[in-house]
A and B are shown apart, each in its own frame.
Chain A
Amino acid sequence: MNHTHQGTSVFARSAALASSIFGILAVAGAALTAPATAASAADEVVIGAPLPLNGPLAGFGSFDQWGYQHAVDEVNKAGGVTIDGKKRMVKLIIRDDKTDPNVSASNVETLISRDHVTALLGSCTPMLVNAGALVAERHKVPMVTGCDPLGAFTSVRKWNWVWDIFFDERELASLAFKTMKDLGIKTDNKMAIMADNGPDGLIVGGKVWPMLAKENGYEVVANGSFPVDNTQFTSIVAQAKNAGADVVMSDFVTPPAVALRKQMKEGGYSPKLMVIEKGAEPVQFAEALGPLAEGILVGGYWDPSFPYPGAADLEKQFEKDTGKSGSQHIADSYAAAKVLLDAIEAAGSTDPAKINAAIAKTDKTYVVGPVKFSPEHTSKLELVEDQWQNGKSVVVWPANRATGKFEFPIPN
């Protein structure tokens, strides 16, 4: 490693450098502004969405992408949306946020300032949705999103331009207790609680579950809080096993959910009932675990069996398009896009304020159920208890939604 110190001649040469910087600036400037003119020239209504298509949340992003695109395709097939009495096609621009909130925010900025989007759809999970939503709010561009539990959404700020269609995490937390009570499940009333320390996990595992456990006469013998990407649970599993807890309540994303279930088996711990909120929902959970998924409970906000217009067809269409099993995430993303497109149609204009006012007036039953926004800009989805049975997700509670019988205890 030798270093040549060229003294003042370096400075003489930097004149040349400066001119090359000008060159690069000019080229970069031209390249960056080019797509802007292309996008705005067309006679299309442009809507944009940042989505996690790479990184740890890529699993969610692919479902949302399909849901958004499917809604836009449907509208375009029917002739587009009516703006000022004229039919116009809708163009959806999706930018990958790589599961990074910084990128999610800058993607929304680009969609607004370069592509001049009329309106926006949200990313997925509070971390990513909130980052983009704050940009939309500041630029006064309407955004409809799913995938952001209502408590996490409303805790950010008082929203004027962003609307959220999802479930309430406090309600999700009480779901399993209601199910157990309603179905008269008998256990030793000992409970282990494990949750990640994400925005919803902290509320559910740290506050709501311990409180509900007390109210319902359960003794909490172990309670652990974990970083979202943690996959090591040996200590708490041993502790829960040692205390002989019949009930495990947990709240994790899919990778730790799979790891936890395996480690319980590895540790020789077999509780009678186990709930894994969030992570046990997608079919990849059951595929990764095989027989170990049997009997696991998870709260769901959608199932193709729901008696709402297009529910069964949506799942079928997804399977036809992708060759994979669907997820409830295709429904809330599809519904969010539909709500937005209906609002644009109702406004009959690309004026953001008019579209925002039309979103506020939404009162219609969509594929996820009735959507009507509260003053906090939220529309709550009803929840059901799902259970994995033979690799299939079965709705076991409440009775009027059930597609199968509750299986108890978990087979060992």
Chain B
Amino acid sequence: MSGAVLVSNLISGVLLGGDLALTALGLSLVLGVMRVVNLAHGEFLIGGAYLGMFMLQLFGIDPLVGLLLIGLILAVLAYPIQKFLLSPLIEKGVEAPMMTAFGLSVILQNVYTILFSGDTRSIERSYATEPLVIGSVTVAQIYVIGFAISVVIIVLVHLLVSRTGFGRDLRAAATDPTAAGIMGVDVKRVYALTFALGAACAGVGGTLIGLAFSFTPTSGSGYLLTNFAIMVLGGLGNIFGTLIGGMLLGFLQSLGGVTLGDGYRELVGLVIFLGVLAVKPQGLLSRGRI
């Protein structure tokens, strides 16, 4: 294998990992702030991909143009889910909200299958399938676009959490919900907004995935695990850590893909994930500011 192929591969991996970090951030926020394992996160992601596809097919809106709208729609849809389904369960341990989210995920998969059939879909844009050639290095243009969007949104989320009143409430609720409540923070509102923000991240990331790859009503669960791995690598609730975790995972998966074959990508990711969990459960990067 030539050097150019290796370099192209590793750069692709890093870009794609950064792209996936956006969806992982959604998962990480919900887990870090609310302590909810959102097993429906993958279905939110696929929901974003379907939205992007139908916006293009029905209204001719380019998914990249409609990206913020997609995020907004998912946030609006997720808000009541948190408010009416998860919120009453949060004090009752890990299992109740986790299994409610699981119930939601099977309902969403079933509903997607009925509404959109089990067919394989993809968002068809010419810019999403063009290569970007710099010297002897070739990477997919959509990876670069996705990476850029992901970085911008991650920075925005960071500013939201570190510079705004909502961010202060969020950090307080994450650290100690009881104390935050006493201090006058509306913890339930913070939770609902965090959940909506998490869903928005998943939806936007899902649209980017729909542009670069293919999806079906059930392909969300595969991304869920990758997201967990990124989250753990980056440190739970560490916003920039998630981005770095994503890039690192992408790099290592590509290295695994190049040396062992593409088939081992996912396995390499999971083994790294388990290894990090075993050695440093709090993540390779130290816990963030949330």
Contact = CB atoms under 8 A, between A and B. Distances in A.
B124 A290 contact: yes
A231 B214 contact: yes
B261 interface: yes
Contacts of B253: 232
Contacts, number: 146
A236 B262 contact: yes
A99 B120 CA distance: 15
Given A258-B122, A288-B121, A224 B213 contact: no
Interface string A248-267: 00000011111100110111
Contacts of B213: 231, 258-259, 262-263
Interface in A189-204: 197
A225 B131 contact: no
Contacts of A290: 124
B207 interface: no
Interface stretch (B70-78, B109-117, B277-285): B109-117
A59 B216 contact: yes
A262 B129 contact: yes
A160 to B, nearest CB: 33
A1 interface: yes
Interface stretch (A50-58, A110-118, A170-178, A351-359): A50-58
B42 interface: no
Contacts of B129: 262, 265-266, 292
A318 interface: no
Contacts of A242: 1-2, 4-5
B118 A288 contact: no
B100 interface: no
Interface stretch (B138-146, B149-157, B177-185, B190-198): B138-146
A226 B260 CA distance: 11
Interface in A7-27: none
Contacts of B119: 59, 254, 282, 284, 287-288
Nearest to A242: B5
B87 interface: no
Given A59-B216, A255-B219, A225 B124 contact: no
Contacts of B130: 265-266
B120 A266 contact: no
Interface residues of A, number: 49
B172 to A, nearest CB: 21
Interface in B212-238: 212-219, 222
Contacts of A227: 263, 266
A126 interface: no
Contact of B5 (A56, A229, A238): A238
Contact of B133 (A233, A236, A254, A268): A268
Contact of B263 (A54, A197, A241, A287): A197
B274 interface: no
B220 to A, nearest CB: 11
A54 B113 contact: yes
Contact of B140 (A258, A263, A288): A263
A410 to B, nearest CB: 14
Interface residues of B, number: 48
Contacts of B141: 266
Contacts of B122: 258-259, 262, 288-289
B86 to A, nearest CB: 18
B215 A230 contact: no
Contacts of B12: 234
Contact of A224 (B120, B133, B215, B263): B263
B9 interface: yes
Nearest to B8: A238
Contacts of A57: 118
Nearest to B110: A54
A235 interface: yes
A19 to B, nearest CB: 27
A179 interface: no
B118 A62 contact: yes
B257 interface: yes
Contact of A255 (B110, B214, B261): B214
A232 B262 contact: yes
Contacts of B5: 238-239, 242
A262 B143 CA distance: 12
Contacts of A166: none
Nearest to B122: A288
B41 interface: no
B128 interface: yes
B13 interface: yes
A259 B265 CA distance: 15
Contacts of B216: 56, 58-59, 255
25 contacts: A54-B118, A55-B118, A55-B218, A57-B118, A58-B113, A58-B118, A58-B217, A224-B263, A226-B263, A230-B263, A230-B266, A231-B214, A234-B13, A235-B9, A235-B254, A235-B257, A236-B261, A238-B8, A242-B1, A258-B214, A262-B212, A266-B141, A267-B8, A267-B131, A268-B138
Interface of B: 1-2, 4-5, 8-9, 12-13, 16, 93, 109-110, 113, 117-122, 124, 128-131, 133, 138, 140-143, 212-219, 222, 253-254, 257-258, 261-263, 265-266
Given A57-B118, A242-B1, A262-B213, 9 more contacts: A62-B118, A227-B266, A230-B262, A235-B257, A235-B261, A259-B122, A265-B130, A266-B142, A287-B119
Among all A-B residue pairs, the 6 with the closest Cβ atoms: A58-B118, A268-B131, A266-B140, A258-B214, A284-B119, A59-B118
